Copies of this chain bind each other. A is one copy, B any other.
Amino acid sequence: MGLIVQKFGGTSVANAERIRAAAKRIVETYKAGNQVIVVVSARGQTTDELIELAYEITDKPSTREMDMLMSTGEQISIALVAMAIHALGYPAVSFTGGQVGIVTDSYHTKARIRNINAQRIKKELDNGTIVIVAGFQGIDANENITTLGRGGSDTTAVALAAIMKADRCDIFTDVDGIYTADPRKVPHARKLNTISYDEILELASLGAQVMHSRSIEFAKKYNVPLYVRSSFNDKEGTLICKEAKEMENIVVSGVAVSKDDAKITIRAVPDVPGQAAKIFHEIAKRNINVDMIIQNASIEGRADVTFTVPRSDLREALNVAEKIKKDLGAKEVLHDSKIAKLSVVGIGMRSHCGVAEKMFSVLADEKINIQMISTSEIKISCVIDEAHADRALRTVHTAFGLDKVEKEEVVKV
């Protein structure tokens, strides 16, 4: 007998039929002898409808009142899920975030959980009751309703799993699990049985948005095993857990491509100490996230500084760059938003050599020019021309042996 947290996303409770299907899964887990805590998101389009109601009233709704409004979405879901479990003849009780003592800070619409008073949940579980908790929400120290922002229901589930020391946290969603690459772009992408927190964190930040990185960081911190699976079928999903010995046999776990960045070059910056600091200090002041940075070798006392920023921040970053250009006496500012970032991720890289070399040579064979490179312990990213992105993704995916192979789970480089 164990304690399982099960989280159902918005599409998994979008209508009565799906709510009944979710209830069936919950009851199966309960009948298998487990204590079950269920975390539910707002049904399908509910959140969008509530936002629309607010914007019919005002174009600048207060964040406190938005949280008051938005939190009703999950409250509706939990009541319906509890009813569906009752209809199957099993005991269940629903709670809002506030009712189970999920206390957050007061940053409305993007609050962070401070602590959870799990007494009430514990009592109900000990009574043999299935506990349904509204995801995405909590209350602050003054009992104002808060919401946790993007990926908030995942965060609720992981936080509850951590505090209750759950054996596992199931994330029911509309995909079958985590793939070696986006299956829409790479038809031969393979579903992974397991992946480490660190790998999925690198993949998440690259656009493979199965779960928000905040909740994965949380799961990593408290070592909560996450099991990502589809609520629409019974296929095996992907277990996200801490690094295991056998994972190291797989050098590359996934390949991802993102087209969310733009590149800025400040040309011929006088090469005296402190110039780079000045540039990135000004950018950071605007809350713009710089990802990759390259400074080429100095020629005649001047160097080119190139960096990437989110495309949505390009205009503002260019304004800053133009201002800096004058201040530093640089020559000109160039930019390119038609770039893509291709990344390979895998904890096996730590103990295996040659991953970077292989990636570069595959791209060279394809005559794809590498504009920038950045590496971490378990990731290599290359900036390339956006036009070649999907071809590069597929070629690299194949080169690292990630394509689907029947009856063979572990593929080595």
Contact = CB atoms under 8 A, between A and B. Distances in A.
Interface of A: 15-16, 19-20, 50, 53-54, 56-58, 60-62, 64-66, 68-69, 71-72, 75-76, 78-80, 82-84, 86-87, 93-94, 96, 98-99, 143-145
A16 B55 CA distance: 9
A57 B87 contact: yes
A65 B53 contact: no
Nearest to A134: B68
Contacts of A82: 62, 65, 68
A250 B351 CA distance: 98
Nearest to A20: B57
B79 A69 contact: yes
A16 B86 CA distance: 36
A58 B76 contact: no
Contact of A80 (B19, B57, B71, B80): B57
A75 B78 contact: no
A84 B84 CA distance: 36
Interface-centre pick from A69, A83, A93, A96 (highest chain B CB count, 10 A): A83
Contact of A83 (B54, B75, B79, B94): B54
Contacts of A15: 56
Nearest to A100: B143
Given A93-B64, A99-B143, A69 B58 contact: no
Contact of A58 (B61, B84, B144): B84
A57 B93 contact: no
A53 B81 CA distance: 11
